[in-house]
Each structure stands twice: as C-alpha cells, then as structure tokens.
Amino acid sequence: MKHDFWKHDLLPVELTLFDGQPNPNTTGALSPEMQSYYAKYLIDLAQPELVHDQFGQKQNIPQGSGKTIQFRRFDALNEVTQPLTEGVTPDGQSLSVKTVESTVKQYGGYLTLSDLLELTAVDNNILQATKLIASQAGRTLDTITREILNAGTVVQYADGSVASRSALAYTSAESNNNLTVAAVKKAVRYLESQDARKIDGYYVGIIHPNVKFDLMSDPEWKRPHEYGDTAHLYRGEIGELYGVRFVESTRAKVFQGAGASGADVYSTLIIADDAYGVTEVEGGGLQHIVKPLGSAGSADPLDQRSTVGWKALRTAEILVPQYLVRIETTATP
C-alpha cells in the first residue's frame, strides 16, 4: 500500500460554533475566517502527537452507515505449478478477502472560560484553550491506538535470550537487556519470514527516546541526512537501521517497573504494511467546538460561561498479528 508521507496522516476537521443562535447582546460569535483559523490551529497542534496512527490502513465510515467499520485484506493467490494445456482454458481463481470488524467510540473534552476571564485576560483565551485541548486530543487519540497495538501477540524479549518481561534486567552498562542491532535484525527476520510487505521499501519502528539513546551509538545507524532520499520523511523520523526506519515518540509504551528488580520495560514496535487499521470517519473526525458567551440560553442566564472543546470518533484494530513485532527491552537510565 502506497503511503504519501506528507499527506496521508491528515485528519478530517470540522468546527461547530454553536447549536442555536447567539445572544444579540454578545460579541462572542466567531467569524468563518476565525473558525477556519482555530480549526487549522487545532489539527496542526494535535498531529505531532499522532505517531501511532501514521502507519495504519485508513478506512472511512460514510455518514449514516452505523458505527462498525470493516478493515479488509486480500489473501495472496496460490502458485500456478501446472503448465497450460494447448487450446484448453484453465480454471480461473477467485479473490479471497478477510475482514476484521471494529466499532468506533467517541471521545472528547472541553474547557470552560468565564466572562470575567475574557474581560480581564491579556492573552487570546480561545487560542490558548485550543492549544491545550489540541494537545489533549492528540495524546488521547494516540494513546488509544498505542494501547491496541501493544496488545499484539508477537513479542520478542530483547534479542530473544530472555523468556519474559519480568526477566528483563538492567544491572550495568555491560550487563543489561537494552535494544541492540541483533534484536532489530531478529525482528526483521521474523517479518520477512511471514512475507510481511514493507512500507515504501522499509519496515517502520516506533521507539522511545530512552531506547534510541542505546541504539543510535551503533556504527550501522544511518541518520536521515544520510539517506539517498531526504524529501519523504515520516513525522518524527530519526534514522534507519537494517531496513527499519525509526520514528521517535515520548509516547511509546513503557511498562513501568515491570522488569527484574523493578526496571522499566520499553516497547519498540516494528511494523509492516497493513499490520493494523485506523478510522477516518466522514463528518466525524477531530472536531473543534466553540460555544461563545450567550449561546446556552437559559442554562447560562447571565452569560457567564463559554467553552472550547473537541470530540472525535475513534477505533484501531490489529489486522494481521504476524505483521507487528513488539520488542521489549530495558534502557540505560
């Protein structure tokens, strides 16, 4: 599946101003230009948090089509090992498609601004509130996808020499279960043995900064400026090693104190194409919602409150478990 690095990860955005008409005695309503500005501001700030969404198969749910989405994958055709018989048309083959169903759920949050704050504050309150809810929205949606991916069934503990998460240990710089090139190579070997397709020629890894610290010191590590093609980079990409392009995120999964002697255990996800899917719901993507002073009617009789919020429909699903390897390791403190 082709991935357009600079386009494919944008979320649809809608801005809802208010349900009814504003009080004519207030000036809280936003112009269409300001609506567009704040909506763009929201998505621009939310996007850097959405690292775990970048590499999933995108599927839309059309409006009015329910809450259940089907992610699809087609099985490979069997090899044709029998030669053709002269003048005889062979039996044809049929497409075989597997579907995985998932149900979207709605998430959201908002901030309440008082009329006194709006009258006395120096800062642009809607802008500041949008900045805060954008971060909340991005982190929330990223966490939802992250937790689903980290429930995958293909797990590799360090380089495979450790049998469980609780056995992963960091004793010293010389004795530990940190991420190594050997561990990356083993994960790649597994994916290749499953005929897992690469994403534009590479597998992709999502890595925590603490784990990156251990891996980048290897002489085989290649930084983005050393690539032949530096134009098409993933958001957050930091380098490539043994056919895996790594994307850094502080939001990569950490199992706090789950290792030996209470060591933190870090998840590094190695992802192949079509390993998982995420939704983009038509008309129900990430929405920015502003309710100005005077829009609540009798629920706010003195026009004391306005709100700035967000909501989104979301789900993610692992489609092919063997296309996703979770490497669990320790990291240098």
Q: Over pLDDT 70: what percentage of the chain?
A: 78
For residue 22, is pLDDT > 50? no
DSSP bridge pairs for 312: 107
> For residue 204, is pLDDT > 90?
yes
Q: Which amino acid is at 173?
A: A
Tell me which DSSP letter residue 122 carries.
S
Residue 281 pLDDT > 70: no
Band of residue 30 on the pLDDT scale cut at 50, 70, 90: low
Residue type at position 187: A
Q: 111 or 191: which carries more pLDDT confidence?
A: 191
**Sequence spans of domains, the chain:** 13-75+99-147+278-316, 155-276+321-329
Query: Does the CA dihedral 274-277-282-288 come out positive or negative?
Result: negative
Q: According to the model, what pLDDT value does residue 255 have?
A: 97
* pLDDT number for residue 15: 35
Helices 125-149 and 32-46 pack at an angle, to 10 degrees, of 40
Which pLDDT value is given to residue 40? 63
Using DSSP bridges, classify how beta strands 57-61 and 265-271 pair: parallel, antiparallel or unpaired: unpaired
Q: pTM for the whole thing?
A: 0.79
pLDDT, the chain, mean: 81
Answer yes or no: is pLDDT of 18 > 60.
no
Is the domain covering 155-276+321-329 a CATH 3.30.2320 domain? yes
Q: Give the residue, 101 or 319, on which the prediction is more confident.
A: 319
Contact predicate 312/137, CB 8 Å? yes
Note the pLDDT of residue 93.
80
Q: With 60 as the cut, is the pLDDT of residue 26 above it?
A: no
User: What pLDDT was estimated at residue 5?
Assistant: 36
pLDDT of residue 23: 35
Kindly state the average pLDDT of the residues 147-170.
Answer: 95
Q: Is 38 exposed, middle or buried (0-12, 13-18, 19+ CB in 10 A)?
A: buried
pLDDT in tens, 75-115: 767 788 788 888 888 888 877 777 788 888 889 999 888 87
Question: Among 148, 141, 145, which Cα is nearest to 286's?
Answer: 141
Average pLDDT over residues 24-52: 61
How many C-alpha atoms does 274 have within 13 Å on its Cβ side? Answer: 15
Half-sphere exposure of 32 (CA within 13 A, CB side): 0
Q: Among the listed ranges 26-35, 131-140, 223-232, 251-260, which one has the minimum average pLDDT value? A: 26-35
CB atoms within 10 A of CB 66: 9
Q: What pLDDT is attached to residue 84?
A: 86
Instruction: Give the model's pLDDT for residue 4.
Output: 42
258 pLDDT tier (thresholds 50, 70, 90) = very high
